[in-house]
Structure 1
């Protein structure tokens, strides 16, 4: 699997990955925000390719709280194969280089909370139905990552 910076030619593949993760991991209404974010990227965003196919995407941004992981996702049919773990580890390594003293945050759902706990994150708050009915918003934090 190879990671590289997102390019505009990756737009359709990324939207396809997003749609494949609706409704369990994303609300359909979030697609417009994701689409707009892809069209106006200012922050680092990456895709993972395997055998010529984009299998995952995700990025990060600096914000008032620290560094936030953004829009991380894996093709639904490839969940459970270590791609998500590799994507998070790749982004954490970039963050350690760019922002070594910053905590890392993620807003995620109850469905991926255990995954991020295994990656060293701890839940700080839970907002029931924070993304929509049945999809709770979980704010998680990981201490600064050393390079």
Structure 2
């Protein structure tokens, strides 16, 4: 298992993983938002590979100088429960904290991943129903550093 920076040649595999998580975790139209995100923040976006196959992706970006935001995490549903998510999120947290003088980190997620992100001491500070799509609610989670 390796974690490495995303490259544009990964797009097809990442897009396929996104589609495997649609519509339960993401609205289909969010694929355009993901593409826009990667055009801006590819340098802090990662993929996790096992046997040369991408099993998941996610990254972060910095807002202002003091807030780090975890963004766009999704995985092959067949790899759920094998620790890949924990490894790539921790990798992102470690990198963003070591490279920046942050006061807090946050994630904008849904009710489906809220329990997962609690593992990283993130606490829900806001819930907005039907934010991402009908039935997919925003869970804004934050942790002070």
Scaled to the shorter chain, the TM-score interval is over 0.9
Query: How far 1:42 sits from its partner (Å)?
Result: 5.3
1:88 equivalent in structure 2: 89
Query: How far 1:107 sits from its partner (Å)?
Result: 0.2
* Cα pair 1:67 1:103 within 8 Å, conserved: yes
1:17-36 equivalent positions in 2, closer than 5 A = 17-36=17-36
2:45 equivalent in structure 1: 45
* Cα pair 1:59 1:69 within 8 Å, conserved: yes
* Cα pair 2:68 2:102 within 8 Å, conserved: no
TM-score, scaled to structure 2 = 0.92
Q: 1:109 to 1:96 in 2, by over 3 A?
A: same
TM-score, scaled to structure 1 = 0.91
Secondary structure in 1 matching 2:24:
coil
1:99 equivalent in structure 2: 100
Query: How far 1:80 sits from its partner (Å)?
Result: 1.5
* Cα pair 1:46 1:58 within 8 Å, conserved: yes
Is residue 111 of structure 2 the alignment partner of residue 110 of structure 1? yes
Query: Gapped runs of 5+ residues in structure 1?
Result: none
Q: How many residues align?
A: 144
| Separation in structure 2 between the aligned mates of residue 19 and residue 135 of structure 1, nearest angstrom | 16
* Cα pair 1:66 1:103 within 8 Å, conserved: yes
Query: How far 1:41 sits from its partner (Å)?
Result: 3.4
| Separation in structure 2 between the aligned mates of residue 104 and residue 82 of structure 1, nearest angstrom | 21
* Cα pair 1:131 1:137 within 8 Å, conserved: yes
Query: Gapped runs of 5+ residues in structure 2?
Result: none
